Structure 1
Amino acid sequence: MDMDEELYTVAGKNLRPFVERYLEELDKADPIAWPMVELIRNPETSEEDLSFFGPVWVAQPVNTRTWGHAGSNEEILLFAVLASFSARDLPWGGSEDHMRKAFEHMRQIGEVEAARRLRAEVVTEATRERDRGDEMRNILLNESLRHDPGKLAAHDQEIAKNATRTLRAAAALDPDGGTDLW
């Protein structure tokens, strides 16, 4: 197994070919379909903006493809790698550099620890104390959905797909991982 193959192996699966295709998709992205492309490709975009939006740009397609129960095994594993890595304080070196750093981070912390952190994220979000900002969002949501209980329930179900995706990613990394957090 060469170094790249080992680096890009997650949960026993070599993701290198998938990651190469994924990065090619990002390189060929249409600015009309993905407006963030112009920001990332613009040479005048500040380093601060690139450091913030670059990681979002790299993760956005796989985040969309793995929403809820959607996505292939490769996509959910890539989501797990990217979701486990936060690089918004690192200098932006491009999509390929970001991807490599994310896989290096996964290798450094290990799959079991990454899965534990993903599960803990879901628990933290579900149990955190709500603040005034949450209250305001709920008021605006209620108003925009005209206080329709059916639409509000559908919205809640759609938002729950984020936790579903994150827990699927954790299970892909560590199928025997506990849920003793809750």
Structure 2
Amino acid sequence: MSTVKQDIFNLPNSLTMLRIIIIPAVMYLMHLGDPTSCMISALLFTAAAVTDYLDGYIARKRGLVSITGKFLDPLADKLIVMAVLLMLVQNQHMPAWLCAIVLGREISITALRALASTEGIVMAAQSGGKYKTAFQLIGLLGMIIHYEYVIDWFLVSDRVNFHAVGFIIFGVSVFFSLWSGFKYSYDFIRGIDQVKKG
């Protein structure tokens, strides 16, 4: 296998591509909307989140960090989140305006970081962005499951509305999303000022 093929099809990149491949299945199962389909979709979404951690860990551990991986990994993350958000709106499980805010933030920050890169400005990852990602994934998972289920808490059983819980957690992620977006914008403006001053 050539060096280029080894770079593209190494284990971390293969896991990343697997995340992209399962997106249509997640969307289709969410479209079906029955409890079984939603649960399978949630399991696939969870698997995608696990592979997101694994591909980065393996790449760093085995020295397999590549240009392809640096491009594909964030792309896969954004694609699956966008797909789930759009399906939630289509199923009327999320207001369209909320989806627009989240997607608008993602597109704006991606464009801002690309512009910063061309100007030689380094924009460090924000802690708010990490919290955003954690709350976002948990919140989306709850909304994908959607239905109520009886959960046993030690000696107590209770019905949990996964959609309602997921929506609240997702709301927390929106706060961190906007906060980290503000910080990125502030850092970009400061970086531009420093570049102008030489």
The TM-score normalised by the length of structure 1 is: 0.30
Structure exhibiting the larger radius of gyration computed from Cα positions: 2
Q: Which has the higher contact order (CA 8 A, sep 6+)?
A: 1
More helix by share: 2
TM-score (norm 2): 0.28
